[in-house]
Amino acid sequence: MQIAVCDDDPEELVRISSILDDYRQERKASICYRTFHSATELLATAKSGDYDLYLLDVMMPAVSGMEAARELRGFDQDAALVFLTSSPEFAVESYRYKAQDYLLKPAKRERLFPLLDALLAKRQASGECLSVKTKTGATLILYERLAYVEVVNKWVYFHLSDGSVREVASPLSAFEADLLTRPEFVRTHRAYLVNLIQVAELRANELTTLVGDKIPVSRQNYAEVREAYLGQLFARRGRLK
């Protein structure tokens, strides 16, 4: 989940960043965030679909959080908006922009953690995950948390972005149709499917994931993998402009 945090108070930005870091570590959640010191700075980089959640300070110089919300809703109707303020007087106005919540400053984990839990659960329910049956029971794997899939004999291993692994007694064919219909997944080898968003480096015969795992790339698959990988790089750069 991509999060934008916008506040003109440096101390509040540090506080929220710390809470988000704690959440990512404690929940093993796949979240990324970027901080902005003004709404003008945020609006200069935000594009439709860039962020899943905006945490906006209401009272900022030049462009307020409410004004930024109006601009954001002009090109993004789906992202969650959460307003941050030291005064509750803008609560009613915030819902004009389909605000997810309204949090009083200073930000606290007791309020932010449940909010993030709810947003991630909503994403899971919307089909942004794969359902698998492991040794211990059924579980859901968010596509964005899945680094790569490996098959060894009759077992399929789902390697996640936090380094954990889910083991499933099933043929790879039971999952490859779902995964390969998504543009970020590609077959690198007859025994591997890889999420290109989780790739740090691609070479002629292997790639390296963000957690440092080496994945083989067969000669016959290299051209397709390289084309897909470059496509993902250009797409990400375009979203960050």
Which amino acid belongs to residue 192? Y
3 state SS of 142: strand
User: What pLDDT is attached to residue 156?
Assistant: 96
Return the higher-pLDDT residue of 154 and 193. Answer: 193
- Every domain of the chain with CATH number 3.40.50.2300 lies at 2-125
Question: H or E segment at 39?
Answer: helix 39-45
For the cut 60, the answer to whether the pLDDT of residue 145 exceeds it is yes
For the cut 90, the answer to whether the pLDDT of residue 239 exceeds it is no
Query: What are φ and ψ of residue 204, in 5° steps?
Result: -65, -35
Question: H or E segment at 56?
Answer: strand 53-57
The residues with which 36 forms a beta bridge, in sequence order, are 6
User: What pLDDT is attached to residue 112?
Assistant: 94
The gap between the terminal CA atoms of the chain, to the nearest Å, is 18
3-state SS of the chain?
Answer: CEEEEECCCHHHHHHHHHHHHHHHHHHCCCCEEEEECCHHHHHHHCCCCCCCEEEEECCCCCCCHHHHHHHHHHHCCCCEEEEEECCHHHHHHHHHHCEEEEEECCCCHHHHHHHHHHHHHHHHHCCCEEEEEECCEEEEEEHHHEEEEEEECCEEEEEECCCCEEEEECCCHHHHHHHHCCCCEEEEECCEEEEHHHEEEECCCEEEECCCCEEECCHHHHHHHHHHHHHHHHHHHHHHC
> pLDDT digit string (tens) for 124-141?
666 677 878 877 666 778
Mean pLDDT value of segment 8-13: 94
**CA 241 to CA 69: how far, in whole Å?**
19
- Every domain of the chain with CATH number 2.40.50.1020 lies at 129-240
Please tell me the number of Cα atoms within 13 Å of 204 on its side-chain side: 0
Return the higher-pLDDT residue of 238 and 103. Answer: 103
User: What pLDDT is attached to residue 189?
Assistant: 95
The bridge status of strand 155-160 relative to strand 146-152 is antiparallel
Flag the least confident range among 115-119, 169-173, 233-237: 233-237
Share of the chain above pLDDT 70, in %: 87
> pLDDT digit string (tens) for 42-63?
998 886 446 889 999 988 888 8
Instruction: Give domain 129-240's CATH superfamily.
Output: LytTr DNA-binding domain (2.40.50.1020)
Is residue 161 left, alpha or beta, with left meaning phi > 0 and alpha meaning psi from -120 to 50? alpha
Name which of 212, 224, 239, 204 is nearest 148 in CA terms: 212
User: What pLDDT is attached to residue 60?
Assistant: 87
Residue 106 token pair = 């200073």
Q: Was domain 2-125 assigned CATH 3.40.50.2300?
A: yes
